[in-house]
Structure 1
Amino acid sequence: MANNNAHGWQRVIYAFGHSMRGLKACWRLEEAFRQELIILVPLLPIGLWLGASPVERAMLVGSLLLVPVVELLNSAIEANVDRIGLERHELSGRAKDIASAAVFMSILFAVVIWLLILVPKWL
């Protein structure tokens, strides 16, 4: 796992490898992550096309990119809770529910950003 002897670029290369393993694991094991990325792929160029200014494009694209970031954190929390034990526990359920709520909030944030930027253009 962690290589405490790695420094400089070697540490960056190791960290990149760990990140790629995490993305691959999340793609393979988490259906919600796959669904969000499948939706993200066509929306990214649409956001770049519909944004009238660099700030609008950054907001449209950035709000979309936030969703899989939060989903990765949600998946990490769920994996840690499941590692501790599969029996039902109030705190485990709360942790999973709060992480899920964070994903919901990031999706809501993206929807609001898109509506605030695009609806006035069509009214």
Structure 2
Amino acid sequence: MAHRPFSESLRFAWAGLIWAWQTQGNIRRHTFAAIMALMLAQVLALSWVKQALLVLTITMVITAELMNTAVETVIDLCNPCYHPLAKRAKDVAAAAVLVAALAAVAVGVFLFVPPLLFVLTDR
């Protein structure tokens, strides 16, 4: 494989991100949830450490979704017909997204519930 300039690699990565955004509803849904979580973090004035943890968690979910999309796309390329092993691979890739999303919900509970309870009970 030829060594390509970094700018070209960035262009390919950007094209993949744009394609995923345009074609994958879950990417858009996760991004919307991420924006809402980041806005709530600002409203609640979470510490920079908690906001960094939130960004890492968001990145984990979106990365899992991108990897799931890549796996599904390659499987569809290699075998467009139904095959039980293809289904299994797709299911496992989707499970990775589920695990990441559930972890994100848990992190969200730890980050947001205490300050929300404080705000709701203090006023």
What TM-score bracket applies, with the shorter chain setting the length? 0.7 to 0.9
- The equivalent of 1:104 in structure 2 is 98
> What is the TM-score with the length of structure 1 in the denominator?
0.83
Which has the larger displacement, 92-101 or 57-66?
57-66
- What amino acid is aligned across from residue 120 of structure 1 in structure 2? P
1:10-89 correspondence runs (5 A): 11-50=5-44, 52-89=46-83
Deviation at 1:55, TM superposition (A): 1.6
Q: How many residues matched?
A: 117
Q: 1:50 to 1:82 in 2, by over 3 A?
A: same
Deviation at 1:102, TM superposition (A): 0.7
Which structure would you say has the larger RCO, counting Cα contacts within 8 Å and 6 or more residues apart? 2
Deviation at 1:101, TM superposition (A): 0.6
Which string of whole-angstrom CA distances, capped at 9 and with x for unpartnered residues, describes residues 53-109 of structure 1?
A: 222111122212221111000000000000011222121111100110111111111
Q: Root-mean-square deviation (CA), in Å?
A: 1.8
Q: 2 CA distance for matches of 1:104 and 1:40? A: 15
- The equivalent of 2:111 in structure 1 is 117
Any conservation in 2 of the 1:33–1:68 contact (CA below 8 Å)? yes
Any conservation in 2 of the 1:48–1:60 contact (CA below 8 Å)? no
Percent identity over paired residues: 28
> What is the TM-score with the length of structure 2 in the denominator?
0.83
- What amino acid is aligned across from residue 99 of structure 1 in structure 2? A
Deviation at 1:44, TM superposition (A): 1.9
